[in-house]
Each structure stands twice: as structure tokens, then as C-alpha cells.
Amino acid sequence: MTKTQYFALYDYGQGGLWMLVAAESAARIREKYPWLQVFEGTPPMLDESALALIRSRGVQDIDDPPSGWLADLVQDGGGAT
């Protein structure tokens, strides 16, 4: 199945962390990482420079082990929902 890139946000209350996740569906991301807010389309609150910065950091494939801050969240048992 073809994967699509989705913007995902971890909102920790006083800010948020953004990433791109490649998956077959937004539902699959929500199932695997329920503490992430997943956007089906471009998040309306982000301008072009923010979108470019998120894209420049690469894409987390849903089938790969998590990396970066996502790995830290998984190791800690997930974020607050």
C-alpha cells in the first residue's frame, strides 16, 4: 500500500513538536501513537516557513523504529492525552 506523508503534532501544553509521518492512513498513526494530533492536509496554523522547517527535518516512516523526540515519548510510555 502507498504511504502518504502526514503532519503530526505532539502538543505538550505550552507548545508543540511537529513532524512528518509516512503511513498508509492517518488512522494508523493515531492507532500507533495516540498522543499525536494528525492532520489530513496542511495544518492551517502553520505558515510556509514553518512547513519548510518541518519538511527539512525528514520523515518518520510508520514502519521504522521511532527516532528523535518521538523515540523519547515512546520510551517514556507516551505523552499526556
Split into its structural domains, the chain has a count of 1
What is the structure's pLDDT at 79? 59
Contact 61, 22 (CB under 8 A): yes
What is the structure's pLDDT at 1? 77
pLDDT band at 81 (very low <50, low <70, confident <90, very high): very low
Would residue 68 count as lying in a domain? no
Q: How far lies 4's CA from each of 29, 77, 78, in Å?
A: 11, 26, 23
pLDDT score of 78 more than 90: no
Would residue 78 count as lying in a domain? no
* 49: Cα separation from own chain's centroid: 18
> pTM above 0.95?
no
**Among the ranges 4-8, 11-15, 77-81, which has the highest mean pLDDT value?**
4-8
Would residue 77 count as lying in a domain? no
Would residue 67 count as lying in a domain? no
For residue 7, count CB atoms less than 10 angstroms from its CB and return exposed for 0-12, middle for 13-18, buried for 19 or more. Answer: buried
Would residue 47 count as lying in a domain? yes
d(CA 78, CA 35): 7
Would residue 81 count as lying in a domain? no
Each residue's pLDDT tens digit, 7-60: 999 999 888 999 999 999 999 999 999 999 999 999 999 999 999 999 999 999
- The residue range of the domain holding 14 is 4-62
